[in-house]
Amino acid sequence: MAKRIFFARYQEEQPLGEGGIGRVFKVLDLWENREKALKFLKPEFKSTPVEDAFRQEFSLLSRIKHPNIVAGYDYQSRDNLHAPAYSLELVGGPSLVEFHKSRPEQFDRLVYQVCQILEFIHLQGIVHCDLKPDNFKIIYGQGDSNSPTVKLLDFGLAESAELIKESKIKGTLDYMAPEILRSEPYNFTADLYSLGVILYELTTGQLPFRADDPAVLISRVLEHEPIPPGSINDRIPQELEDLILGLLVKNPHRRTASASLVKEFFAAGMDPASLPAFQWRPFLESASFVPPATVWPELRGLVRTPSFQAKKVALLCGVPGVGKSRVLKELKSVCQTEGIPVIYYRLSGPLAEWWDGLGQRLLFLCTNSSDPEMQSSIKTVERALSCQNAEEKIKIAAQVLSELPLVFLLDGLNFQGDSVLVRCLSENQAIQKSLVIVAVSPFAQQCTLLEKFIHSHPATERIEFIQLQPLDLEKAKCLVQECVPQVRLTPGLLAGIWNSSGGNPGLILEGLQRLWHTGKLVFDQGQIKRAKTRKPSPHPIAEAEQYLRFVEGCLNPAQKEFLQQISVLGQKFDLLAAVHLVEANLDQSYEHLRYLLKEGILCAEVWGDVPVYCFSPPALQQYFYQNLPFRQKDDLHLRAALYYENQQEQGNSISPDILAGHFLNCHQPEKTYHYSLLSAEAALKTLSKKEILFHLGNAYQAAGQMENQKEKILRQAQVLRKRAHFWMTIGNFHKALADYRQLLKLFEKKAQQKIVAEAYKDLGDLFRLKNNWRKGMVYLRRAEEIYRVLDDEPALAHTLNNIGNLYWIALQYQRALEYLNSALQLHHSLGNLAGAASTLNNLAGVYLATNQFQKSIDYYQQSLEIHRRLQIPEEISRVVNNLGVVHMYTGQYHQALESLLESLALNQKTGNLREQVFNLENLGECYQRMGDQNQSLGCSRQGLTLAEQIRFTVRKGRILRNLAKSQAELAEYSQAWEDCQKALESARLIEDTETQAWVLVDMAEIHIQLNLENKARELLAQADPLVAKLKDNRLTIHYHLVGGQEKQLRTEFSLATTELEKAEKIARDSNLKEEELISRLDRFTLDLEQADLAAKEKELNQLRSLYRQGNFSHLQVKLGLAEARFYRHSAQWDQALEAAEPALQKALQQQSWEFAMELAYLNGLIWQERKDLEQAYLYWEQGVTILKKVYQKITQPEFKQVYLQGKNRQTLVSGFKKLAELLAGRRA
């Protein structure tokens, strides 16, 4: 009986198996003379969503390249005889369970490989969804029976984790995760549950849950716990049993988190030498196709043209590595999955060497086709195969390629040897029924010669010439992310890859290989990570030998010299600069550029409004530059520097870093110093650390080369001062101090120069920021002494101002006012309005610190008036911000927001990033105090991101504290705790004792909410000496309020009252209305049980009066809770509800979940006392729902254990349960 032939290619050998949607056959691929598997979709699933999933499975298998995963080859769309099918790697061997029974000693090795597979597919973003022993086969390498290899076969249900938008029950029931059975969202942990079932089965010989009835099985999976495997097989170690049960946990969030953890478990018991090595190459080879934007739509449109109406011949060319082969393979996939007849063939050598292989395929295809057009070409194909005359053979081969109704994708044509074939194809227009796309192997001057060839004859004019360009930056970034999934693509990493590749996919892959080889990319605990290594990196282009050979082969001596000379201009340059540099005429330079652009050695882009030319890849510039003779470099750099300086003098905008670079490289220290400082100042606007330090380093080096010793020292001191000031700006006080000390060493100990006084003044500011006012005062006194000797009154005024600031920090407010007023008088006498305005701003700050709010506002207004007159936007924004802070502290929140938002808008307009951080920090605090926690989080996160971006670490701790406060208000205790820890660490790093104190008290408050009173007491004890030292009234009030809460939690009510009374007194004495109101509200509710009702009602009216004195609407919930408790205690049920219900709605609106929970309980209690149990039940149900929501968001086990032990929470839950039972009994 004749064997069946499928798709005129595959000869049936034997059936292999059948599944739910498909059948698999062992076949012989007659085109390649190779055994494969052929998987058919069952006919009943044609033209259904199942066919789409079948096609998706092939796409996944054909993309993924991994030694432990079966490979997919070709897709065959359905025809008149067959359903859709695809060919894949033929894998024999036993299943996982079968092999384990015969070779149990290989258990660790098998599971280790299974985990490697899961690590890989999970990093690819794939959830398999159908892991089971039958989907794994075990094979051996030749002659190696001790190294079995696991192969994963079936991907029919696999999904991209990003595309799982709805939960669908899928998989094999015995191995299906509970969350899938519950139709809940699922991710990679569903595969880990399946792995747990597999391990259970391998170690015990049975499944963890069994039942013939699927409904019963589902019930057992969801509701029962598995029998510990050690109870079934007593040889299972306890550690392995724990691992298996950890994988079978029903809650996916508590399940073992990754395959890597399982892999490491089994690795610990294996000989390290026997561990299968990690393979990084599959990550590079499995990257999804990133299409070249310029030509991919055109090529895809060509193959999709109905009935090949285009009838075209297209030549695809490009530099080595640009991706011609990958493009043709993707076109093949497009054709196969869309039912377009296609032949992809990899060419090797001249036509005489490759035609027979292709011709035999075509002959077999025509012979076994039912298409009359195909059958009619049999004799022509036979003639082409048998023809011995080389010239005639080419003509007949071209006829075959033209008349068959197929898409031909011919990869790697040697054009120089087979250009006759292309010419013959172009002459067959009359008979052409095909589309022929030919990828040309790179050769020297290819684009120039191909264009010349196309335009050499009328017939060849119809050939479409397509030049493949490198990827743009965004697409290059996408490719890198595909190759190294989950790696954070930092600007530095991307810049390095772009520099060495210029978007060339082949060079990108070579660059990533270098990162693996040099240890800069590592695989650790299931993730690809960047690692620091001292291993030197090779030149970014030096190892791309094929590419360099291509470039060198394209260039004649004149072109090579041109590239070497213009390499002095950097990676980007304009035409006029190049012409000036090489001293060539415009036409000659343009001719060189035109040729280099055409061949892809240079590329063009628009930079601003100016067309510029770039080396492609950028590292090519370094390659030509390093081969330029040293003396010629000096001459060319000087020529470039003078050209650009002349352009600048003519009014053209030239970046100072360009001039600095050229003058540096032609050894002109004066000019290098000048332009390097200008470059550093330009970089300071964006706080680009690397650029600032680079330019300042060049300036310092240039200063050191100056011949005049006095000038040399002075210039070096100026650079050191600028660098130290930059270090201060980003909060690196240690490096700033080192630079100032280095500066002072340049001068004699008793030197009276102004630069020394300025350094002392700066050091005073540095120690002010470090909260070390005593050291700061020493340096400022030295500065004051020198300025008095030099009779430098303007500088003296600024120094007196700074001394006043230090006394302010030292809480010596009277001395601060004395010095600030002295500075103000001196500024006025000098007519220095800007200095006077700055000092007024500081005076206002001192009055704010002493709670003299109106005086503070008056001085800020005076300062603002001067700054507006001087039109200094940065100072205007700073004073407006400070006014916002005063309004915030006095409870005038609407005015505060207005000022803070105005200041932010001004800073955004001027691009002042540092002041924007202050604005966002204050806005975060303002919104937080107003009860709008989401707005607060938004501002604080934005401020934190900006602070990290510009390395303004001084404010990080305070912003993190704002984040933590808002998180705590939203009952996000885990996140609040993490942010508090970060804030504390940041504050300790810069010795910010004020922030440390605030955060310690906040952390104590969080622990009180979590019923951890001992830890809260410890934290308050840590904060106590800091609070005492700082003498900040607001901080002290906060400390006593939290102390009162801690004492109340311990039921030490007398001590709690004392703490609250202290807070209330300080607030009242300091005129802090909001803090006074909070203190009195806490005390009001604390002693409600023991107090006289008439006295309490009078006190309540006083609280209402105080509430109306500011914008305290955010305290409506707290006041409403106090009112409701009072009226309930006095049995005034209606008034209690009138207070409690609106307060609850406000709490829900503000997402103040702890208050909402308490108010829900209080409302239910009032309705219960009114005998309306149904209404009470509804409120308590609402409270329990909130309680669950808060509880579920707590991630730390130690927090979870104690949170529910709170008295109020226990009372709520027990009351709800009892009421539910009572109501259920009534209804029964």
The fraction of the chain above a pLDDT of 90, given in percent, is 49
Residue 570: per-residue pLDDT: 92
Distance (Å) of CA 1152 to CA 223, 400, 1042, 1206: 35, 78, 18, 17
Residue 165 has pLDDT above 50, yes or no: no
Q: What is the CATH number of the domain that holds 326?
A: 3.40.50
Domain that holds residue 304: 296-467
What lies within 8 Å, CB to CB, of 762 at 6+ separation is 721, 724, 725, 728, 740
Residue 775 maps to a domain = no
Q: What is the pLDDT confidence band of residue 951, given thresholds at 50, 70 and 90?
A: confident
Q: What is the CATH number of the domain that holds 31?
A: 3.30.200.20
pLDDT tens-digit map of 564-616: 999 999 999 888 899 888 877 778 888 999 999 998 899 888 776 778 899 98
Residue 1112: per-residue pLDDT: 83
Summary mean pLDDT of the chain: 88
Residue 132 maps to a domain = yes
Q: What is the pLDDT confidence band of residue 633, given thresholds at 50, 70 and 90?
A: very high
Residue 1221 has pLDDT above 80, yes or no: no
Mean pLDDT of 763-771: 84
Residue 308 has pLDDT above 70, yes or no: no
Please classify residue 581 by burial: count the beta carbons closer than 10 Å to its beta carbon, then call 0-12 exposed, 13-18 middle and 19+ buried: buried
Residue 1088 has pLDDT above 80, yes or no: no
Residue 145: per-residue pLDDT: 60
Residue 402 maps to a domain = yes
Residue 186: per-residue pLDDT: 84
**Cα–Cα distance between 235 and 244 in angstroms, integer?**
14
Q: What is the pLDDT confidence band of residue 141, given thresholds at 50, 70 and 90?
A: low
CB contact at 8 A, 637 and 666: yes
Q: What is the CATH number of the domain that holds 594?
A: 1.10.10.10
Expressed in percent and rounded to 5, the helix, strand and coil fractions of the chain are 65, 10, 25
Residue 34: per-residue pLDDT: 93
- Asked if 346 and 425 sit in the same domain, the reply is yes
**Cα–Cα distance between 416 and 445 in angstroms, integer?**
11
Residue 1192 has pLDDT above 90, yes or no: no
**Cα–Cα distance between 1176 and 1172 in angstroms, integer?**
6
- Asked if 267 and 362 sit in the same domain, the reply is no
CA-CA-CA-CA dihedral for 771, 774, 779, 781, to nearest 10:
130
Q: Is 521 helix (H, G, I), strand (E, B) or coil?
A: strand
**278-282 LR contacts (CB < 8 Å, sep 24+):** 278/116, 278/523, 279/66, 279/67, 280/516, 280/521, 280/523, 282/64, 282/65, 282/66, 282/67, 282/120
- Asked if 304 and 178 sit in the same domain, the reply is no
Residue 838: per-residue pLDDT: 93
Residue 853 has pLDDT above 60, yes or no: yes
Mean pLDDT of 470-480: 89
Residue 875 maps to a domain = no
The encoded tokens of residue 516 equal 């693996």
- Asked if 134 and 229 sit in the same domain, the reply is yes
- Asked if 360 and 389 sit in the same domain, the reply is yes
The encoded tokens of residue 644 equal 């650009």
- Asked if 427 and 376 sit in the same domain, the reply is yes
Residue 170: per-residue pLDDT: 63
- Asked if 233 and 347 sit in the same domain, the reply is no
Q: What is the CATH number of the domain that holds 129?
A: 1.10.510.10
Q: Is 493 helix (H, G, I), strand (E, B) or coil?
A: helix
- Asked if 262 and 302 sit in the same domain, the reply is no
CB burial readout 554-573, b (16+ within 10 A) else e: bbeeebebbbbbbbbbbbeb
The encoded tokens of residue 305 equal 């043209």
Residue 810 has pLDDT above 90, yes or no: no
Residue 963: per-residue pLDDT: 94
Mean pLDDT of 507-528: 82
Mean pLDDT of 661-689: 91
Residue 359: per-residue pLDDT: 94
* DSSP states along 792-860: -HHHHHHHHHHHHHHHHHTT-HHHHHHHHHHHHHHHHHHT-HHHHHHHHHHHHHHHHHTT-HHHHHHHH
- Asked if 417 and 391 sit in the same domain, the reply is yes
**Cα–Cα distance between 676 and 713 in angstroms, integer?**
17
**Cα–Cα distance between 1123 and 1022 in angstroms, integer?**
35
- Residue at a domain's end among 628, 644, 667: 628
Q: Is 763 helix (H, G, I), strand (E, B) or coil?
A: helix
pLDDT tens-digit map of 414-432: 998 899 999 999 998 888 8
- Asked if 210 and 336 sit in the same domain, the reply is no
pLDDT tens-digit map of 331-362: 999 999 988 999 999 998 888 889 999 999 99
Provide the sign of the torsion angle of the four alpha carbons 370, 374, 379, 384, taken in this order: negative
Residue 532: per-residue pLDDT: 72
| Angle at alpha carbon of residue 998, lines to 992 and 1003, rounded to 5° | 120
Residue 741 has pLDDT above 70, yes or no: yes
The highest-confidence range among 282-286, 1111-1115, 1139-1143, by mean pLDDT, is 1139-1143
Residue 839 maps to a domain = no
Residue 819 has pLDDT above 90, yes or no: yes
- Residue at a domain's end among 628, 646, 676: 628
Mean pLDDT of 929-942: 92
**Cα–Cα distance between 434 and 426 in angstroms, integer?**
12
The encoded tokens of residue 559 equal 């072109």
Residue 40 maps to a domain = yes
pLDDT tens-digit map of 1014-1046: 999 999 999 999 999 888 888 999 999 999 999
Residue 484 has pLDDT above 60, yes or no: yes
Residue 234 maps to a domain = yes
Q: What is the pLDDT confidence band of residue 696, given thresholds at 50, 70 and 90?
A: very high
Residue 167 has pLDDT above 60, yes or no: no
- Asked if 222 and 310 sit in the same domain, the reply is no
* Beta strands across the sheet bearing 602-607: 572-573, 610-615, 602-607
Residue 751: per-residue pLDDT: 65
- Residue at a domain's end among 467, 490, 514: 467
Residue 268 maps to a domain = yes
Q: What is the pLDDT confidence band of residue 1226, given thresholds at 50, 70 and 90?
A: low
Residue 7 has pLDDT above 50, yes or no: yes
Number of domains in the chain: 4
Q: Is 503 helix (H, G, I), strand (E, B) or coil?
A: coil
- Asked if 353 and 248 sit in the same domain, the reply is no
What lies within 8 Å, CB to CB, of 235 at 6+ separation is none
> What's the start-to-end Cα distance of the chain, in Å?
76
Residue 83: per-residue pLDDT: 87
